[in-house]
Amino acid sequence: MSKLVTIFGGSGFVGRYIARRLAKEGWRIRVAVRRPNEAMHVKPYGAVGQVEPVFCNIRDDDSVRAVLHGADAVVNCVGTFDRNGKNNFGAVQYEGAARIARLAAELGAQRLVQISAIGADLNSDSVYAQTKAKGEAAVLEAFPDAVILRPSVVFGHEDAFFNRFAGMTRFSPVLPVVGAETKFQPVYVDDVAQAAVKGVTGDAAPGIYELGGPDVKTFRELMQQMLGVIRRRRLIANIPFGIAAIMAAVMELVQTITLKLVPPQITRDQVRSLRVDNVVSDGAKGFEELGIQPVSIETILPDYLWRFRPAGQYEAIKESASNLRAD
């Protein structure tokens, strides 16, 4: 019988790519999510019954134990940008990760892969980064042979980074950014999935891996590259951190007053995160140790950002026609 893997958050951006790759390798897959009815898109990744969305609340031992029963390997992709509410930073990224690792070890899982983030640091000013670090420590305490992956900002067809800013260009001549000179090392989502699969199959040695693509660029440079791909000219306006923090505070207040009906465009915690470069640390293990050649941004962006061009899929035809010369 084929082996079974439980992927927490397996219907999300990164999780679905991991599920797809493991399905192709013949694994049976439980996709553990809060709303299985919204995760049906993962079922066609494999044969009938091979990939199944199942309900799980990672804040509950019994719920986690049920979806881990019989699993040979475990992948935890669950994360959040919500500092408040029941599924806050601590509940999800620290306590949830700790619970998954503890019960995975208790039930005899052979492998565990934890998706964390570059910048995870107990001493960070960002609560997001602090809880990522606490989660890592808890995972390693319960499951010392775990593989922990720390990607930089992840890009791909369904990303919330390039898609978000490209969408903003449709409505404004100005593209506001916070931390225009902060550096990032964007990593393609399927490269992260490849790394996770190596962790699941035992082809990656236990430990922490920082995953960054081949390009290190400032926030401003990434936006300029994105604008070039979508054929639009926009003024990139850097918002100083102090002003951004005030704006974020107001947005969070509005969210509270409206009972979360109006989510903030940026939070104070995100502003704090943007003060620090999001790149692979010197001496950190990464793609090289995993035997993976990461894909560059320029190779992938045109594949999915074309729809934000003024003429969408017909932009290339317009450009070609403009180059024609009358005889």
Q: What is the pLDDT of residue 81?
A: 82
Token pair recorded at residue 78? 């669950």
Asked whether residue 18 is assigned to any structural domain, the reply reads yes
Asked whether residue 327 is assigned to any structural domain, the reply reads no
CATH number where 117 lies: 3.40.50.720
- Name which of 10, 6, 16 is nearest 68 in CA terms: 6
The dihedral of CA 208, 211, 216, 219: what is its sign?
Answer: negative
Asked whether residue 171 is assigned to any structural domain, the reply reads no
Asked whether residue 89 is assigned to any structural domain, the reply reads yes
Asked whether residue 253 is assigned to any structural domain, the reply reads no
Tally of structural domains, the chain: 1
Q: What is the pLDDT of residue 326?
A: 47
Asked whether residue 285 is assigned to any structural domain, the reply reads yes
| pLDDT in 10s for each residue of the chain, 327 residues | 689 999 999 999 999 999 999 999 999 999 999 999 999 999 999 999 999 999 999 999 999 999 999 999 999 999 988 777 788 899 999 999 999 999 999 999 999 999 999 999 999 999 999 999 999 999 999 999 999 999 999 999 999 999 999 999 999 999 999 999 999 999 999 999 999 999 999 999 999 999 999 999 999 999 999 999 999 999 999 999 999 999 999 999 999 899 888 889 999 999 999 999 999 999 999 999 999 999 999 999 999 999 999 987 666 666 666 666 544
Dihedral of the alpha carbons of 4, 33, 134, 246, in degrees to the nearest 10: 150
Asked whether residue 179 is assigned to any structural domain, the reply reads no
pTM of the full structure = 0.93
Asked whether residue 246 is assigned to any structural domain, the reply reads no
Q: Which domain holds residue 283?
A: 4-158+186-214+278-294
Token pair recorded at residue 219? 């926030």
d(CA 311, CA 318): 8
For 116, other C-beta atoms within 10 Å of its C-beta total: 24
The letter for the amino acid at 81 is F
Token pair recorded at residue 35? 């709303």
- Name which of 136, 60, 63, 125 is nearest 94 in CA terms: 136
Q: What is the pLDDT of residue 323?
A: 64
